[in-house]
Homo-oligomer: A and B are copies of this chain.
Amino acid sequence: MKEKGKLIVISGPSGAGKSTVVNAAIKGREDMCFSTSVTTRAPRPGEVDGKDYFFITPERFAEMVERDELLEHAEYVAHSYGTPRAFVQRQMDAGFNVILDIEVQGARQVKEKMPEAVLIFILPPSMEELRRRLILRGTDSMETIEARLTRAREELKEASRYDYIIINDRLEEAAEEFAAILLAERCRYAQRKDFLETV
């Protein structure tokens, strides 16, 4: 019997190292995939429909919202983005753990629509360290960095909605924790209920 996958939602301040932790944890694994969002914005050069995004019309987007076909959705710079429920469900049914990297508001929507989703919040060890990392990254002005820090403090208030907190101090440890959460979640009673009936 093929085990079903889980939806893994990750959030955390910009600069906390979300992608680095996740990529280190899932390297070489074939049971993991990332969610593909729908968007109303036009494809940029090189972007592939169904891979980078599902590019859809505003009418189709509105219809998806109406029919509750999105696990979460948001507006960003005059365009709409969302997570298609059917796509995520298909991947999970095929045994994949689906990773969804979204902001706290989106995570809240997902948890409401799919309570069995696993929510992981990835944090830097301190705000000072976060500032240091953002400065080191060298891509943001000091003004943007201060705005990111303010936003990070806001997001932290939502951390209690998350199932797990990973503190990305040492990357290896954080990646190990991420992998342990995936494995532990596979051992959850609800996940193995079907097996119990066959014993």
Q: Which of B156, B176, B189, B196 makes the CB contact (< 8 A) with A164?
A: B189
A160-199 vs B: 1/0 string, CB under 8 Å?
1011111100000000110111011111110111011001
Interface size class of chain A, counting residues whose CB lies under 8 Å from the partner chain: 20 to 34
Q: How far is the CA of A191 from the CA of B196 in the complex (A)?
A: 29
Which residues from 122 to 140 on chain A have a C-beta closer than 8 Å to any C-beta of chain B? 123-127
CB atoms of B167 and A177 under 8 A apart: no
Q: Which of B125, B181, B187, B196 makes the CB contact (< 8 A) with A156?
A: B196
Q: How far is the CA of A188 from the CA of B192 in the complex (A)?
A: 21
Which residues from 144 to 168 on chain A have a C-beta closer than 8 Å to any C-beta of chain B? 156, 159-160, 162-167
Measured between beta carbons, the chain B residues less than 8 angstroms from A191 are 165
CB atoms of B181 and A187 under 8 A apart: yes
CB atoms of A192 and B177 under 8 A apart: no
Q: Which of B126, B176, B189, B195 makes the CB contact (< 8 A) with A160?
A: B189
CB atoms of A199 and B123 under 8 A apart: yes
Q: How far is the CA of A121 from the CA of B187 in the complex (A)?
A: 10
Measured between beta carbons, the chain B residues less than 8 angstroms from A156 are 196, 199
CB atoms of A187 and B199 under 8 A apart: no
Measured between beta carbons, the chain B residues less than 8 angstroms from A177 are 183-184, 186-187
Measured between beta carbons, the chain B residues less than 8 angstroms from A187 are 120, 164-166, 177, 180-181
Q: How far is the CA of A125 from the CA of B196 in the complex (A)?
A: 9
Q: How far is the CA of A22 from the CA of B102 in the complex (A)?
A: 37
20 further interface pairs, Cβ-Cβ under 8 Å (given A120-B187, A180-B181, A181-B183): A124-B199, A125-B199, A126-B199, A156-B196, A159-B196, A160-B193, A162-B189, A164-B188, A164-B189, A165-B187, A165-B189, A165-B192, A165-B196, A167-B192, A176-B183, A177-B183, A180-B180, A180-B183, A183-B184, A184-B184
